[in-house]
A and B are shown apart, each in its own frame.
Chain A
Amino acid sequence: MNNIWGDMAQYDPVVWNWIIAVYLFMAGLSAGSVLIGIGMRWYSKDKQIESAILKASAIIGPVAITLGLACLVFDLTKPFHFWLILINYNFDSVMAIGVAALLAYSPLGIAYSMIVLRDELPKWKLGFLVPISHMLMPFRTMIEILLFVLAVGVGAYTGFLISAMNAYPMLNTAILPALFLASGLSAGAAGNLIVALTCFNSTSHDDDVSKLHGLDLPVIITEMMFLVMLFTSLYFTGGAAAQALASLTQDIWASVFWYGVVGIGFCIPILSMFLPSKARHTKAMMLTVACCSLTGVLALRHFIIYAGQTYIS
């Protein structure tokens, strides 16, 4: 429809697009992968051996966050001025706090990877890094603890980032950081499993791999619970918040939620648990289920970003 007051394109409430959704996914994947890798090391009996899961997380952690940050930088309208955000900080802003956290998290993640992958580096023609690995070895425990704490921060930060906007009732909820942290763990577990099985020749019967597999159900149930809490709080808040519930029944994002998040992300992994033990523990089945989990988490980030911004207070 023509109007007399001008172009309406700038007033579209959906400001952040799929690139941001991919960044949120990558940050969650990186943080979740690191949390699971380090967490499982702390609970393992033999700490001298670098497990395949830990090696997988040493790859996913830095790679995913680097790709995510690349998405973020090239989504800026002034990508070549991104360095300004590294020297100017407004600590009222969740984004500035996130930048500070990522500034510590990314190099620490790379340092920790060099420690964990020290025996692998020569095989990838990165042998020249081995002396650095040995130099870092004495600080391993410190780096590990710091990285773990920062990973919790990074995982939750992506939720805080978008829940800080009270213009959007569906995003402006307390549960979002927790939901993103939980779904990040789910993505991290799936990612670690895929890399461990394909790159580090672990078998589907390894102790670590089955332990990791056992994490699936509790994490999925937690995520489902958080989603129910999110929608319930919207319903009882009423007004604009309750109207945002239409995102569950209308438009493309309803399909993304029900088919992507619930169908692929939750139902397939849960249903796979009812398969006979033999079929369930094949490599192919485990990889399929892990890919479904990853797809579900990616779909969740898209649903939250798009549906969340569609409804405005």
Chain B
Amino acid sequence: MNKRYVMVHDENKCIGCQACNVACRSENDVPEGVTRIQVRVEGPFGEAPDLHFKYHRVSCQQCEDAPCVTVCPTGAAYIDENGLVSIHNDKCIGCMYCVAACPYKVRFINPITKAADKCNFCKDTRLARGEQPACVTVCPTDALYFGDANDSNSDVAKLLNTKITYQDKTHLGTKPRVYRVPTKRGGIQS
């Protein structure tokens, strides 16, 4: 059976340290000026002294119905057998249709290859060696979980079965595979 790779970001455990951001840059040779993953620190929310921040992971959502793949004229953007949204660099001509069409704005043009680029869960490097993606391994608070959701014994499957999670922009019908455990501290937005 094919794998259904998913990632879960526990926003309660995240501290916004950007270790994931740095580890990704190092593992995937991401050039300066562009990033595959950022954790945006939003806030502070609440009344002093009970302030808190929210942490929002910005990276490829590995959509099941990926707009970037639909719009790509040459088929350079594709979904592989394990559901990972991937790019054939040699088929990409840099029309930037995918960069524009991505509702999460996580695609960019790699200034060195001149092709579209983004997070692919380290599939060519660490995943190929049977390791977890760099961001997951490096996270000091274990806020990231990664695995095969088709395997009911995997950590991610258990987590998704027991915790409340949400995904970004589900109203666009993209079916993202990055899930988020919402921060417990709520608050009324003005």
Number of A-B residue pairs, CB cutoff 8 Å, is: 113
Given contacts A5-B40, A6-B38, contact A95 B95 (CB under 8 A): yes
- Taken together as a complex, chains A and B put the C-alpha atoms of A126 and B46 apart, in Å, by 76
Residues of A within 8 A of B74 (CB): 84-85, 88-90, 96
Distance, CA A89 to CA B108, complexed state (A): 22
Chain A CB within 8 A of B93 CB: yes
Alpha-carbon gap, A213 to B171, bound state (A): 46
A85 and B95 contacting across the interface, CB-CB below 8 Å: yes
Interface hits, A56-100 → B, CB 8 Å = 75-78, 81-82, 84-85, 88-90, 92-96, 99
Given contacts A78-B92, A92-B70, A164-B101, 6 further A-B contacts (CB under 8 A): A10-B33, A81-B93, A93-B73, A167-B100, A313-B169, A313-B172
Q: Which B41-99 residues have a C-beta within 8 angstroms of A? A: 41, 58, 67, 69-76, 91-97, 99
Q: Using C-beta atoms within 8 Å of the partner chain, give the interface range for chain A.
A: 35 or more
A77 engages B41 (CB within 8 Å): no
CB distance from B58 to the nearest CB of A (A): 8
**Majority SS at the chain A contact face:** loop
- Which residues of A sit under 8 angstroms from B33, Cβ to Cβ? 7, 9-10
Q: What residues of chain B lie closer than 8 Å to A313, measured between beta carbons?
A: 103, 169, 171-172
Chain B residue nearest to A166 in the complex (CB): B172
Q: Is B160 an interface residue, CB under 8 A from the partner? A: no
- Nearest-neighbour CB distance to chain B for A313, whole angstroms, equals 6
Q: Are B93 and A82 in contact (CB under 8 A)?
A: yes
Query: Are the CB atoms of A89 and B35 closer together than 8 Å?
Result: no
Minimum CB–CB distance for A59 against chain B, Å = 28
For B, the interface residue count at a CB cutoff of 8 angstroms equals 41
Which listed residue, B34, B39, B95, B172, touches A7 by the CB 8 Å rule? Answer: B34
Chain B nearest CB, measured from A80 CB (Å)? 9
Please indicate the chain A residues that have their CB under 8 angstroms from the CB of B101 in the complex: 164-165, 167
Residues of B within 8 A of A13 (CB): 105
| Residues from chain B with Cβ under 8 Å of A11 in the complex | 58, 105
A6 and B21 contact, CB distance less than 8 A: yes
In chain A, positions 94-114 with a C-beta closer than 8 Å to chain B are 94-96, 99
Q: Which residues of the other chain, B, contact A5 by a CB distance below 8 angstroms?
A: 18, 21, 35, 38-41
- Is A4 part of the binding interface, using a Cβ–Cβ cutoff of 8 Å? yes
